[in-house]
Amino acid sequence: MIEILLKNKELLYPGNITEIPVSNLEFQLMRFTEYADAELNWLSENYGLDFTIMKNHQDIEISSHFLESESQVAFHFSIPYFNKEEKMEEEQVFIICSKTGIFMFTNPELDGFFNSTYSYQVNSIQKIANAESLFKFQFEFIADYLADITERLTKKIKLLANKILIEKSFSNEELDIITRYNFSNLLIKETLLETTRIFNLYLKSYWEASTGIKQCVQAELNDLATVSDYIQFNFDRLDDLKENVSNKIDLEQNYIFKMLTIVTVCISLPTFIAGIYGMNFKDMPELELDYGYPIVIIVMLLSALLPFIYFKKKSWLK
């Protein structure tokens, strides 16, 4: 899908690039949620855009996240988000700012998430006065989004912590949830580090001098530093929860082993006595006693009952 925000605040939704009037089009933002080489080549030919950052976005170099030239400045953000199953995924967002306007490239899944969760912010773009304010909005939205999704994950972790404190029995399911939340927190942390680097590089760039939003970017960097503290707190809490669950699982396993030990001892002694009288030796005096059978039965019951009483006094049955 292609969405174009004109300078007169109108929105255009051309079906494809051939319907875009290049010669007389005055726009502030051109957004692509689905794009292929044909769209990128068309943009390169008509607006002189350089898509090097999109071709090398998997590289670890900072140039794969922030790339500046005399004609444009390009940003690459890895955005974590919750899918329909409430599991965190990561998608790529590219923003290219040129003297013509701002170009944004995303995908339908992430676009749908933003439209459903942040509809107010998305719709407010149409009310922005000029390209400079729209450019500033991109910085503010990304920083606020990282704070929001960190808060959302923090609430999930808090609910899990309350459940773990209340529940008396645990399984590997809780450990799997903790591992998944830990991975989600890691994705947010990685995005925050990349975003901080990009913002700092932008402050040193040629484009910052032309837009004059230094104070805004510095304010967002301060907010990101606070978000980083919350992310570290989430790591600490998840580590504590994992240790807590592991300890309680170990206690449950120890209790099971204790019960098996008690059962084994209580059964082994009667079995030992029964084994003796099952040897069928010729000279066994007890076989001649009139009350030999009930006596042996009583001895077997006592041999099972006495260890049980002993372990109960030792509080092994609690």
Name which of 124-138, 170-184, 201-215, 238-252 the model is least confident about.
124-138
In words, the CATH class of domain 251-313 is mainly alpha
Rounded Cα distance, 178 and 161, in Å: 10
Rounded to two decimals, the pTM is: 0.74
**CA nearest 145: which of 93, 86, 67, 215?**
93
pLDDT in tens, 139-160: 888 889 899 999 999 999 888 8
C-alpha neighbours within 13 Å on the C-beta side of residue 48: 10
Residue that has been written with the tokens 């913002």 in this structure? 199
| Beta carbons within 8 Å of 95's beta carbon, 6+ residues apart | 74, 75, 77, 102, 103, 104, 105, 138
Residue 149 has what pLDDT?
92
Highest-confidence segment of 11-15, 51-55, 227-231, 287-291:
227-231
> H or E stretch including 73?
strand 72-82
From the number of C-beta atoms within 10 Å of its C-beta (0-12, 13-18, 19+), residue 128 rates as middle
To the question of domain 1-123 being in CATH 3.30.460.20, the answer is yes
Rounded Cα distance, 218 and 224, in Å: 10
pLDDT, the chain, mean: 82
Residue type, 16: N
Task: Indicate the pLDDT class of residue 229, thresholds 50, 70 and 90.
Answer: very high
How many helices and strands in the chain, by DSSP H and E? 9, 7
Check residues 50 and 282 and name the one with the higher pLDDT.
Answer: 50
Residue 58 has what pLDDT?
66
- Three-class SS of residue 218? helix
Cα 164 off chain centre by:
19
Return the domain boundaries, the chain: 1-123, 251-313
Q: Give the chain's end-to-end CA distance (angstroms, integer).
A: 64
**Angle, CA of 102, 105 and 111, to the nearest 5°:** 115
**Angle, CA of 159, 151 and 93, to the nearest 5°:** 130
Residue 62 has what pLDDT?
67
